[in-house]
Amino acid sequence: MGEEMENNSINTNSTTGDEKHQPAEDGDVKYYTRKQIQAHNMSKDAWLIIHDKVYDITCFLEEHPGGEEVLLEQAGSDATESFEDVGHSTDAREMLEQYYIGELHEDDRKRDCKKEVYITTSKESSSWSTWLIPAVAVAVVGFMYRYYMLEHKSS
């Protein structure tokens, strides 16, 4: 039964390098398994996974500012971490969309928990800093005010 479901929900198109992929239209999303994507790891046929989306970047290899070798190292695999580590611009992210061909199949997506960011402060630093900084600011303003008022009274 699991096999039947897999065959019904996974794109079973041929994974040869000869086929041309059109960007998926809304509502017509194609799903690819990691196994299918791994077959596309050569300079004449290179796919990447970035944020669970699949991109055919074959045509972009020669245009990539970092060189095609960087992309070929990631071809056929999940390049999300590498893509984010580089800190690509908004323009690069928009350009990526033209190479979109589908989505990573749900069964192959990483089940990572959302990363939670914890900001920790010790009670000592937060207690003195919450009153010390404003107190110093008030003292400085008070001294400036007194100096200004005394200066103008004596003139």
Locate 125 and state its tokens: 């630093």
Angstrom CA distances, 58 to 1, 20, 143, stand at: 36, 11, 68
Residues of the chain with pLDDT below 70 are: 1-27, 111-129, 153-155
- Under a CB-based contact definition with an 8 Å cutoff, are residues 102 and 32 in contact? yes
pLDDT at 53: 95
Instruction: Give the pLDDT confidence of 30-72 residue by residue, as tens digits.
Output: 999 999 999 999 999 999 999 999 999 999 999 998 889 999 9
